[in-house]
Amino acid sequence: MLDPRVATFIHRMPKVELHAHLEGSISPSTLLEMARRNGLSLPANDLAGIERLFCYDDFLGFLQVYMICARTLCTGEDFAQLTYEVLKAAAAQNIRYIELFLSSMQHRLRSLDFAELLQGIADGRERAYREMGIQSGIMFDYGRQFGSEEAIEMAHEAVAGRKYGVVAFSIGGDEINYPPALFVEAFKVARAGGLGLTAHAGEAAGAESVRDAVELLGVSRIGHGIRVLEDPVLVEELRRCKVALDVCPTSNVRTGVVRSYDEHPVRRLYNAGLLMTINSDDPTLFGTTLTDEFLLAAERFGFTVDEICGLVQNAVRASFLPPEHKERLLADVIAEQEALRGELGV
Ligand SMILES: [Zn+2]
């Protein structure tokens, strides 16, 4: 049983999230509303049906639903509404800063206009900042299965998106059949364009996939990376170079890459001294929130309040914020953690 004061601390503490997908954060009611507005049919036509749709027990089932969500977004207005709603839900958890992945190829395939889509996202971000003070950044997440040529195009598109709040370039999708070596050129373009670099790796494939993402693509952050423990030399390297891992425990259990919470390596990754953060990945699709993931860390994996505070500070350090913003946010987060700990006696 978690000490109720610790639970209160987790609910109220300032938070930072680095790994959440915009399309995987859509609520069932918004999904229905947008499908109706855009004249699209969904596998279910009411809230209960959509909620049932969000229950699957393997990665493929998840992926199908994810794609349905992505393809329901059609107009700048849809992207503005979704972004605003996602940031509102984040602000309600006292998330101060969040970096959201955008599955850019899902929208490119449908020939959506990127300027309209990104302007919509920027409008949603600005409104959320104005009303709730929450800051955010967008990361282009490229599906590896679309190959290396299109990746270069998307990297250029991501660089052009900087004026709309794009802060990073990433790869996701089929990790097993499309290794990092295929995307060296695309990452060169993104780096030259001033973007942060990250990659989903070490989730479906093993430690070598993480090593290649770091050494060939030059990423400073890894999405998941939970299989790095297979290679102690790599662990040492990641620790030395302060490469951060976005760990998302519920996602890993729901997609079946880890069989159960008991087998999840989150505690071992932390104990190995890695720069680790806690994240929700696709909160509505996995029925979780960032708050829930921290409660899980405390209750099931025994993370102390000290450790939880450190994990939030890690997220500020590993973010793609400019250095001066990072320092200011870190100072604010630490001051609020101290004040809240004093108030609650934890
Ligand atoms: Zn992800």
How does pLDDT run across 97-156, given as a tens digit for each residue?
999 999 999 999 999 999 999 999 999 999 999 999 999 999 999 999 999 999 999 999
Greater model confidence, 76 or 62: 76
Query: CA Rg, the chain, in Å?
Result: 19
Structure confidence at residue 61 as a pLDDT band (50, 70, 90): confident
Amino acid (one-letter) located at 142: Y
The rounded distance, in Å, linking the Cα atoms of 90 and 97 is 9
Nearest partner of 225 among 255, 204, 196, 250, judged by Cα = 204
Residue range 64-85: mean pLDDT, rounded: 96
343 CA distance to ligand 1 middle (Å): 35
Of 172, 173, 87, nearest to 134 by C-alpha is 87
Backbone angles phi, psi at 308, to 5 degrees: -65, -40
pLDDT at residue 57 tops 80: no
Q: Ligand 1 center to residue 189 CA distance, Å?
A: 22
For all residues of the chain together, what is the average pLDDT? 96
Angle, alpha carbons 139-134-85 (nearest 5°)? 75
For 316-345, write each residue's pLDDT tens digit.
999 999 999 999 999 999 999 999 999 999
Report residues near ion ligand 1: CB below 5 Å.
223, 281
Averaged pLDDT for residues 227-237: 97
Q: pLDDT-derived band of residue 55, with 50, 70 and 90 as boundaries?
A: confident
What is the whole-number distance in angstroms between the Cα of residue 331 and the centre of ligand 1?
A: 28
Which pTM was predicted? 0.97
Q: pLDDT at position 204, please? A: 87
Q: How far is the CA of 326 from the centre of ligand 1 (A)?
A: 23
Report how far ligand 1's centroid is from the alpha carbon of 167 (Å): 16
pLDDT in tens, 239-264: 999 999 999 999 999 998 999 999 99
3-state secondary structure of 135: strand
CATH T-level topology, domain 4-27+76-344: TIM Barrel (3.20.20)
| Average pLDDT estimate for 27-38 | 96
Active site residues: 203
Would you state the pLDDT for residue 59? 80
pLDDT of 81 reads 98
